[in-house]
Amino acid sequence: MPGNYDEKMPRWIKASVFKFLTDLLQPHYAVFAEGAPRKTQNSKRWIELRIDGPDASEGSGWTRFDLTVNVFCNVQVDGTELYPIDDMFGKVANALDRTIAIFNEDTGALIDCLNTANKGPKIKPFGQVKAAVPLLQGAVEMSYWMVVAS
């Protein structure tokens, strides 16, 4: 893509978002990036982070990035709590409903910040997908945008 687009931007965005959310959520849950190796056999609660995008559009002297962060939530059902997945949804939604700083991983410099693009996080409960597997699942999504001057 000619113009202002830096080929490293998708990696910098993903790394910055993952670090930001891991710092906020790791104290409560095991956190995994989509596609990363993971062992969840001993975990009662874990999340998986995924990013759709970034989609880029360019103008004269600027590039706009749009993306959606999806956090997949998983809670093993053990009968001790009535609303464990809802508590997880609340913590994740709170973490997503913020501006996220994006850094150049090579230099550590602040590039800009992702701004929330929708009115709030979207919570999508899936329930217990397989009757034989005592696991509640769902997702929390938030869309973001950022404009970077060149």
Q: CATH number of the domain at 29, please.
A: 3.30.2000.10
Query: Does residue 44 sit within a domain?
Result: yes
What is the value of pTM for the model shown? 0.88
Query: Does residue 2 sit within a domain?
Result: no
Query: In the chain, what percentage of residues exceed pLDDT 70?
Result: 95
* Placement of tokens 């910098």 in the chain: 12
Query: Does residue 52 sit within a domain?
Result: yes
Per the prediction, the chain carries an average pLDDT of 90
* Residue 4's pLDDT band (cuts 50, 70, 90): low
String of DSSP letters for 63-75: EEEEEEEEEEEEE
Query: Does residue 3 sit within a domain?
Result: no
Query: Does residue 145 sit within a domain?
Result: yes
Task: Write out the residue range of the structural domain in which residue 99 sits.
Answer: 9-149
Number of domains comprising the chain: 1
Per the omega criterion (within 30 degrees of 0), is the bond before 134 cis?
A: no
Query: Does residue 26 sit within a domain?
Result: yes
Using an 8 Å Cβ cutoff, are 61 and 150 in contact?
yes
Statement: residue 3 has pLDDT above 70? no
